[in-house]
Amino acid sequence: MKALLIWPKFESHTFWNFEEVCNLVGVKYMTPPLGLLTVAALLPENWELELIDENVSPLCETHLTQADIVLVSSKIVHRRRALEVIEWAKRLGRPVVVGGPDPTLSSEVYIESAADHICIGEGEITLPRLLADLESGTTQRIYRADRQTELDATPPPRFDLINPRDYLYLGLQYSRGCPYKCEFCNVIDIFKYYKTKPPTQVVAELDVLYATGYRGQVDFFDDNLVGHMGKAKPLLNALIDWQEKHRFPFTFSTSLTLNVAKDDELLDLLRRARFKAALVGIETPDQGALRTAQKRQNTGFSIPEAADRIYRLGGFTIHSGFLLGLDGEAADVADQMIRCIDDTSIPWVMAGIVYPLPGTQLSLRLEREGRLFPEARTFSHEKARDQISAGIQFQPERPAADVVGDLMKVLEHSFDPAGYFRRCGDAVVRLNTIPKLFLGWFIFWRNIRSFVRLLWRAARTKNMRGPFYRTLARVIWHNPKGLEALAMLSVLYLHFQSMLPYCREQLIAQIDAIEAEGETNWLKERLREPPAEVA
């Protein structure tokens, strides 16, 4: 049996498609599809497997016609392309299996598609059942996980199916889910509880990755690596031991909650394990809005002080998400957010209007209250590619034009080059990082080439030239160990600048529509249910 596994292409001009970064570094895409590589490991050993990541190489008709079965994984951000691929494969007479986060939370979309089999829930549960039925010739259309899997049975990803040099970094997974119940997050709806792998299993996966010859950044694709701080410490100690034995071939990144800053020991372990960056969901400095959104873990302490402790004790940079439009937020929330961004010295800001993802507590509540736009319920709006450019998809408590305008204000402030690089300098001069410039010859020369390209790009970009070179001089003088972090943050700036015009265009169009129609009429039209289709 020859199986073709397909990861659909992300749209351009989305926060999640770092084309500018990849072009400068000389890779094809940021990271491979870890979920699909894990699915591959669950398939029979005697199957012949081929993985096509459309972000790296195009999918051709020959790929489909030579396959005996096609497996498509889908997230909400590339639903449109996933459905196109399903239709394409079916036109060529190939059986199609589809699974992933989007089919799990919006199964009706895929049930209406031409897919032969829809796997809803974790593949460790659904795939063995499908494989057994394929063997006996008694397949079903829908395979729904009736329980949650434990991760100690999950096999190592099939890294042999990709070329690591196509990607900026690779990934592993230690945990699934999150112990917190943030109203806007769909993680708690996909995974009902927080679960982890034993440290020995994670170390074994590092051995598999190391054996491929890969050296460089490894991202833990966890929604919250330290969801259980007591369990995270043995993991980090195991990572430190492994890194020391192998002479530190990897640097790490992941997602964390801000309350990690309360634990000095944990921050020290993260530093010693060589974590270099973390995505931290601050969401908003407005304490009332945090409580309404059920994100109480970010309340009761100073956010700037927490960020400072992370820089000084953890030695890694913070990339953070901020959300506007939350119920209960103050009228001056944009000004609060700007002060928070400056006071925390966070350069990489992912600001957007809270998106009521299908299946979340937020979307269900807004649905009950009659405030959810029907297009958000089905993610049918054509121009929404991420939570930034999508704008408002529900009736907010504050005036809609004010919410969108506040997002524009925060974005313009966040990515103004003078402010961006000033925050880079403020963070990096405090960064108590442990440098490791040589991770292997390929990565070393790739990084040297990228840094030279960055210097040239900055010199040729008028509004970036002064802020970048002043910050570079400041870091060299005060904390040269932080040059690696500054280079990474500077390369990311190119992505933000390439993304901003598209987002600005989409948001201005929404503000213009609200003002032209009047907010009452604009909301009324967006809340109107579409006419029922006639059979």
* 333 and 324 Cβ atoms separated by less than 8 Å: yes
* 344 and 417 Cβ atoms separated by less than 8 Å: no
Q: What is the pLDDT of residues 140-198, one digit of tens each?
A: 999 999 988 899 889 999 999 999 999 999 999 999 988 888 888 888 777 778 999 99
pLDDT at 533: 58
C-alpha to C-alpha distance for 401 and 515, rounded to whole angstroms: 8
Q: What is the pLDDT of residues 487-520, one digit of tens each?
A: 999 999 988 888 888 888 889 999 999 999 999 9
pLDDT at 181: 84
pLDDT at 184: 87
C-alpha to C-alpha distance for 120 and 128, rounded to whole angstroms: 13
C-alpha to C-alpha distance for 391 and 187, rounded to whole angstroms: 22
2-144 against 169-428: fold identical: no
pLDDT at 438: 74
pLDDT at 379: 63
Order of strands across the sheet with 69-73? Answer: 48-53, 2-7, 69-73, 96-99, 117-120, 142-144
Indicate the class that CATH gives domain 169-428.
alpha beta
pLDDT at 83: 95
C-alpha to C-alpha distance for 151 and 154, rounded to whole angstroms: 5
pLDDT at 249: 96
Question: Domain locations in the chain?
Answer: 2-144, 169-428
pLDDT at 148: 87
pLDDT at 191: 79
Which residues of the chain fall short of a pLDDT of 50?
381-384, 534-535
C-alpha to C-alpha distance for 44 and 40, rounded to whole angstroms: 9
pLDDT at 15: 64
pLDDT at 13: 60
CATH of domain 2-144: 3.40.50.280
Q: Name the amino acid, one letter, at 216.
A: G
